[in-house]
Amino acid sequence: MAIQKSSAPTIIDVAERAGVSRATASRAMGGYGRIAAQTVEQVRRAAAELGYRPNEVARAMRQGRTRTIGLVIIADFTNAFFDRATKAIVDAAKSHGYQVLITNTDEDIAAERQAIETLIDKQVDGLIVVPSTAAVHDHLATVQKSGKPLVLFDRRVDGIVATTITTDDFSGTEAAVRHAYAMGHRRFGFLVAAAGNYGHSTERPAVMISSVEDRINGFMSGCADLGIKPKQQSWMFCEDNARDPEIAVAKLLDQPKAPTIILTTNNDMALVLLKTAGNRRLVIGKDISLITVDDSQWAAAMAPGITVVARPVEDLGSITVEKLLAEIDAPGQKAEKIVLPTELIARGSVANLVMYPENEPENY
């Protein structure tokens, strides 16, 4: 006996069940055209009875919109900043009736190229990209030539005329140096996350992403203005992996005149410092002080709390979506460079060596 093959119900099936033409059923399901409310209800009831679901992809292609945004993001989602940023973007897009397709590149330019190609193939209406590098951007130029709306998030790329949403990391890091200096610190360590296959080194990479470049320049500006000499500064650049940051932290702490405070460029570097300090039985805010870029729930919940350069993550996400949707709705918008302010939030992780100079650690 032949087995009848089942198939998904079609709009023709819905029309037959509702007793209307295919065109009427299509208009009723699509919510367009002049159709009596009773007929719309009749068609939709028939669709529900049959378990019919419209082909959203086909409908989007006919309308020229998929109501999706492609988000090309670089970091592991355990990174506090990109975790919050992704949620902010998804929430903002959802409030406007858009969905977000998310890809991860792990700072790999080849992965970024592939991610962008894939998202374009999926007919996203626009792209939000966190560039993996400031040195290579021909694929971004290709996106623009295709007419696909593009907004850069968190990082600038010279040579690409696109709206960019970033934060004032220069002023934030400069403020962190000034705060530490006001608390009596004169020996500074700076732990910098360097993208790419870099390892760890005291030598500054030739090319840095713009956000990290701004933090470096802010640190240097603060030190210069306050008269903190190069011999009072200890720098370590390291790849954000499982091994090199721990080695870099150890080298900072094992110097004959170790820094009394270490600034880190992101939460991942701060966590490595906290882990190393814990293993060495060093007390944060006493034996070693810490300031990091980006706030997080754990930074506020620790005892003592971690002093941070906080960035307005939710605002970054919502403004980025707003600017992308404006370009989608009305192509040809003037490119903007939007820079949001940062805020230094002082907690207990910075020892007050002015009030208690006897607590200044000489070595570890």
Place of tokens 């119900």: 9
* 3-state secondary structure at position 237: strand
* 3-state secondary structure at position 316: helix
Provide Rg for the chain, Cα atoms: 27
Tokens standing for residue 42: 């009749």
Helix (H) or strand (E) holding 212: helix 210-226
Tokens standing for residue 28: 């009723």
pLDDT tens string, the chain, 364 residues long: the values are 344 445 778 889 989 999 999 889 888 887 777 888 899 999 999 988 888 877 655 555 555 678 899 988 766 566 788 889 999 999 999 999 999 999 888 878 888 889 898 888 888 999 999 988 777 778 888 888 878 899 999 999 888 889 999 999 999 999 999 999 999 999 999 999 987 657 888 888 888 889 999 999 999 999 999 999 999 999 999 988 888 999 999 999 999 999 999 999 999 999 999 999 999 999 999 999 999 999 999 999 999 999 999 999 999 999 999 999 999 999 989 999 999 999 999 999 999 999 877 777 765 4
* 3-state secondary structure at position 339: strand
To 5 degrees, how large is the angle CA 7–CA 124–CA 79? 110
Q: How far apart are CA 6 and CA 234, in angstroms?
A: 70
For residue 227, count other CB atoms closer than 10 A to its CB.
9
Q: How far apart are CA 82 and CA 96, in angstroms?
A: 21
Domains for the chain: give ranges and CATH numbers. Answer: 11-54 (1.10.260.40), 68-167+313-341 (3.40.50.2300), 169-311+345-359 (3.40.50.2300)
Cβ atoms 141, 164 nearer than 8 A: no
Cβ atoms 244, 196 nearer than 8 A: no
